[in-house]
Amino acid sequence: MVVEEERDLETIDIHVNVGPQHPATHGVFRMVLTVSGEKVVDVVPHIGYMHRGAEKLSENMDYRQALIYQDRTEYLAQFNAEMCYVMAVEKLAGIEVPERAEYIRVILAELNRITSHYMFVGAFATDLGVYGTIFTYAFREREYIQELFESVSGDRMMYGYFRPGGVVWDVSADFKERVRWLCKQTRVGINDIERLLTRNEIFVARCRDIGAIAAEDAIDYGLSGPMLRASGVPVDLRREEPYSIYDRFDFDIPVGERGDVYDRYLVRMEEMRQSVRIVEQALEQMPEGPVLPEKLPRRLRPPLGEVYMRTENPRGEYGIYLVSKGGEKPYRLKIRSSCFCNLMALKEMVVGHYVADAVIILGSVDIVLGEVDR
């Protein structure tokens, strides 16, 4: 006869430091997990290891020079960040943007959304443990789009192509051809990756019901972007407060149901397809014409005032709060970065899950440390 006796085990909670150098933290992010056994009881994120003072340095630069910090802040969705900044300056200074420049901006911004989501899928799959496969596919697709960006702006990553008033030079004659090819190739690339992940039993088992956050909490924490849409709130700034020419395009907004990691992944994959739709429509509608207004002042001096310009970046709502006191340099340039606000909800999402899930939840927030720390 076997007698089972119960004994109380003495346990202590240990602190696990997922330190600044870690293959799964997407950069220099540190979180200290307090675990009891394998379940996470508390998480304290520490940021600031990439705080480089973009805001302070922008105050000492021209309006055109301060553009470079936007690229380097959001270094995976550069065109979207540049677009927000140049639109903020245009709203303050009252500059009209020619039509062709608007279309070029939208096409490049949407293609950059696609590359950013490819990077998300690659890094997310690596967090799950798929060492290398999806990452390699994603980077292969990104390289195709990056070649186009290089031919348009001259640089593979830090473009600096947008200017207050338009874009700095016109695109080449084969731009439309290449973008059409890219649209076709992107559809193939998305299908390649989705075939491997979306219905994969292990993927679903690891991602379903992990890190869920309810809609009211999401709004309270200030979440935005795919994280908010995955929780069931059908908000996209391109529809809510349309900026640029987004009201001319017909696209859907993917909305999730439960707000868990799997929904966020699905929302982002579907957003890539909608971006391709937008690009195709923009290609058809794009007119000829100049890309900068004729009467652009040599020294840009917006009048007194302030503006908070917000755009829908791949990660959420990216905002630029620009205060101008009439000089050549911005008086205060505050960057409201999407990942900074999305990370505040980390504790709410992670507590109660296992350590391996904490890594996946962090991956699903899709952080870019340049943006979090600026």
Report how far residue 321's alpha carbon sits from residue 65's, in angstroms, rounded to the nearest whole number: 17
Q: Is 145 in the site for another protein (CB under 8 A)?
A: no
- Token pair, residue 285, equals 């509608």
HSE, side-chain direction, 13 A CA sphere, residue 20: 7
Contact 176, 283 (CB under 8 A): yes
- Pick from 178, 248, 273, 334 the residue near another protein by CB under 8 A: 334
Binding flag, residue 135, another protein (CB under 8 A) = yes
Closest contact distance (angstroms) between CB of 1 and another protein is 50
Q: Spell out the residues 6+ positions from residue 265 whose beta carbon is closer than 8 angstroms to its own.
A: 121, 124, 197, 198, 207, 364
Span of 72-80, 183-191, 204-212, 282-290 interacting with another protein by CB under 8 A: 72-80
Beta strands in the chain (DSSP E): 14-18, 30-36, 39-46, 162-163, 166-167, 305-313, 316-324, 332-336
Q: Which residue reads 């350590």 in tokens?
A: 355
Q: How many Å apart are CA 271 and CA 146, to the nearest integer?
A: 19
Rule CB under 8 A: say whether 277 interacts with another protein: no
168 binds another protein (CB under 8 A): no
Answer for which of 60, 151, 172, 191 binds another protein (CB under 8 A) is: 60
Among 79, 91, 272, 275, the residue binding another protein under the rule CB under 8 A is 91
**Which one among 7, 11, 21, 188 touches another protein, defined by CB under 8 A?**
21
CB of 81 to another protein, least distance (A): 12
Contact set for another protein, span 297-316 (CB under 8 A) = 303-310
Our CB check for another protein shows the closer of 277 and 347 to be: 347
Q: Which is nearer to another protein, 196 or 323 (CB)?
A: 323
Q: How far is CA 225 from the centre of its chain?
A: 8
Applying CB under 8 A, which part among 32-40, 154-162, 272-280, 281-289 lies near another protein? 154-162
Q: Which of 84, 230, 343, 367 binds another protein (CB under 8 A)?
A: 343
Q: Could you say whether residue 143 binds another protein (CB under 8 A)?
A: yes
Does 125 interact with another protein (rule: CB under 8 A)? no
**Contacts to another protein from residues 244-263, by CB under 8 A:** none
Q: Is 236 in the site for another protein (CB under 8 A)?
A: no
| 171 touches another protein (CB under 8 A) | no
Residue 156 sits at the vertex; the CA angle it makes with 90 and 98, to the nearest 5 degrees, is 25
- Which string of x and - marks every residue 184-223 that binds another protein (by CB under 8 A)? --------------------------------xx-xxxxx
DSSP structure class, residue 167? E
> Is the C-alpha dihedral spanning 118, 123, 128, 129 positive or negative?
positive
CA 3 to chain centre: 58
Q: Which stretch binds another protein (CB under 8 A): 67-75, 188-196, 256-264, 282-290?
A: 67-75
Q: Tell me: does residue 129 bind another protein (CB under 8 A).
A: no
278 vs 106, 248, 311, CA distance in Å? 8, 10, 16
Residues paired with residue 144 on neighbouring β-strands, in sequence order: none
